[in-house]
Amino acid sequence: MLDIKAIREDPERFRAAAIKKHFPDRAAAVDRLLALDQEARGLIPDLDRMRAEQKAASKELGKLSAAQREVHLEGQKKARAELQALEERERQLRSAIEEQLLLVPNVPDDDVPEGKDDQFNVQLRTWGELPAPDRVIRPHFELGEQRGWVDFQRAAQIAGSRNYFLLGDAALLQDAVLRFAIDRMIAKGFVFVDPPLLVKDPAMVGTAFFPGGEEQTYRCERDGLNLIGTAEVPVTSIHSGEMLEEAELPKRYVGRSACFRREAGTYGKDTKGLYRVHQFHKV
């Protein structure tokens, strides 16, 4: 979550960041945030004054006669109700401020090119040369089906579109590649993590999947849990809510998991093969 002080000092910088990232609705969140913040800060003097009055009135109670005490208590009751109402409004504002803060995007580096899709990507460098093909290059889904490595049709029958069976050597190759990547990271000092596949909402919020990624997430409403779209969510959340000593740092983890994504709104995009599938494995 961003520092609201930085947004107060230069709101236009954050509006421009949202526009550059093609999130016009997030630019509007900056204005909503500032309006809520101004109202919340405007309550502080009244809250401080009313709390001080309550404290002073409580000290006076013991000095009063029985008749005076009754009148005093009635006034205190009314003042306490007014204070509670103002405190409730402050809580509502703080909650709304946090919601809007989550919508304000990070500011991209000045060198990041602007573009609505990958056609606007800028090639910074290349490595090696692409060899000229000396034979017919078949798409991976066609080759996989011919060799009996993948079965999309049967998977679709039992699980719907964008699912697949990985069979034989292809399944073994997947395991080998995943294990190769894990071994490389362990050799660099990383701790291997086999994480939970279902997480609570705070883990999704803390890794910036919520708000905004709800439509892409498989939700288990009955239990209030979410299937992860990447191991980054639980692995990044391992130490959430903890205070770590400097001597304990850095913490290095590498996670492997099944990943689940609804791919909502991608109808017609990469409809064949192993792209934009609902479930896959990743390190």
Mind listing the pLDDT tens digit for each residue in 250-259? 999 999 999 9
Mind listing the pLDDT tens digit for each residue in 137-190? 899 999 999 999 999 999 999 999 999 999 999 999 999 999 999 999 999 999
Q: Which pairs from 213-221 meet CB under 8 Å and 24+ separation? A: 215/262, 215/264, 215/265, 216/261, 216/262, 216/263, 216/264, 217/260, 217/261, 217/262, 218/260, 218/261, 218/262
- Res 104 pLDDT > 70: yes
Contact 282, 256 (CB under 8 A): yes
Its sign, for the CA torsion 148, 153, 156, 157, is negative
Question: What is 206-250 written as a DSSP string?
Answer: HTT-TTT-GGGS-EETTTTEEE-SSTHHHHHTTTTT----GGGPP
Q: How far is CA 221 from the centre of its chain?
A: 18
Rounded to the nearest 5 degrees, what angle is found at the Cα of 279, between the Cα atoms of 276 and 281?
A: 105
For the chain, strand residue ranges (E) read 150-151, 165-166, 191-193, 198-199, 219-220, 225-227, 253-255, 257-260, 279-282
pLDDT category at 75 given cuts 50, 70, 90 is confident
Q: Which 3 state secondary structure label does DSSP give 192? A: strand
- Res 14 pLDDT > 90: yes
Which residue spans of the chain are classified as CATH 3.30.930.10? 141-282
- Res 210 pLDDT > 90: yes
Which residue spans of the chain are classified as CATH 1.10.287.40? 4-101
Contact 80, 53 (CB under 8 A): no
Q: Given CATH 3.40.50.1100, say whether it is the number of domain 141-282.
A: no
When pLDDT is averaged across residues 34-57 and rounded to a whole number, the result is: 92
d(CA 116, CA 105): 16
pTM to 2 decimals? 0.80
Residue 251 exposed, middle or buried by CB count within 10 Å (0-12, 13-18, 19+): exposed
Contact 256, 281 (CB under 8 A): yes
Q: What is the pLDDT of residue 255?
A: 98
Topology of domain 4-101 in CATH is: Helix Hairpins (1.10.287)
